[in-house]
Amino acid sequence: MAVTVDIKALLEAGVHFGHKTSRWHPKMAPYIHSKRQDSHIIDLTKTVEGLDKALPYLTKVAASGKKILFVATKKQTKDVVREAAEKLGQPYMTERWLGGTLTNVLTVSQQVKKLLDLEKRMASGDLEKRYSKLEVQRFQEEIEALNEKYSGIKDLDGKPGALFLIDVIGDINAIKEAKTIGVPVVAVVDTNADPSLVDYVIPGNDDAIKGVKLLLDYVSEAITEGINASKPADKQGEE
């Protein structure tokens, strides 16, 4: 069952508030409804259209068993995005985009492997048996430092099926890497960003936490639907 988008809820959450007109990107013109004082107003019928394309796509990716990598390094949105990704069991990157996450998989996977190995040895008591207290403390610090960088992508095995972004401008490097290896990008695109960089454009305010939360709810619902759809197939495979 497809996710139903409520245009009134989008309006109430302030998804239609764009940036100042002086900061607009001309390619966003088709998604802009009007100007109010010195700011652009996003056409919410276009937001609904964008969601109606993006959400079934995310359901399809999740149903295929592929991961959707959530990216949001902007201060005001990173926590809600991380929480949504964790609830869904999807990978995320919310501290800062690490160059080469998608294009230099070997180096990144080696670091993740090192982190998992250290965590396992710490949990089993192996490090305590072999090293002094000071050395164990140093290992713990290394685990914490690696987790800060890689905790969200510990379960990302191979390339993701899609990228979901909140801030096109701030996380442009993630988009560039996704383009390089052919991973489709679904993104919330505000009036100051270039929509042509994104495969599935969701026109909307990328700053207002209420609006971002609402869009995340729709995205989460779509992904959950896909995950649930894939479960019976998994069980058949096990029998």
Could you read off the pLDDT tens digit of each residue along the chain, which spans 239 residues?
678 899 999 999 999 988 888 888 999 999 999 888 889 999 999 999 999 999 999 999 999 999 999 999 999 999 999 999 999 999 999 988 988 999 988 888 899 999 999 999 999 999 999 999 999 999 999 999 999 899 999 888 778 999 999 999 999 999 999 999 999 999 999 999 999 999 999 999 999 899 999 999 999 999 999 999 887 654 544 44
Asked whether residue 170 falls in the same domain as residue 121, the answer is no
2 located within any domain: no
Asked whether residue 148 falls in the same domain as residue 225, the answer is no
| Residue 20 DSSP class | E
Asked whether residue 124 falls in the same domain as residue 80, the answer is no
Q: In terms of residues, how long is the chain?
A: 239
1 located within any domain: no
How far is the C-alpha of 175 from the C-alpha of 198, rounded, in Å? 8
Asked whether residue 144 falls in the same domain as residue 110, the answer is yes
Task: Please give the tally of structural domains in the chain.
Answer: 2
How far is the C-alpha of 221 from the C-alpha of 229, rounded, in Å? 12
What pTM value is reported for the model? 0.90
Question: How far does CA 52 lie from the centroid of its chain?
Answer: 18
Cβ neighbours of residue 178 under 8 Å, at least 6 residues apart? Answer: 102, 163, 184, 185
What is the DSSP track for 177-223?
A: HHHHHT--EEEEE-TTS-GGG-SEEEES-SS-HHHHHHHHHHHHHHH
Going by C-alpha positions, the residue among 164, 153, 130 that lies closest to residue 61 is: 164
Asked whether residue 233 falls in the same domain as residue 118, the answer is no
Asked whether residue 67 falls in the same domain as residue 178, the answer is yes
Asked whether residue 164 falls in the same domain as residue 148, the answer is no
Tokens standing for 96?
């800062």
Q: Which domain holds residue 220?
A: 7-97+159-238
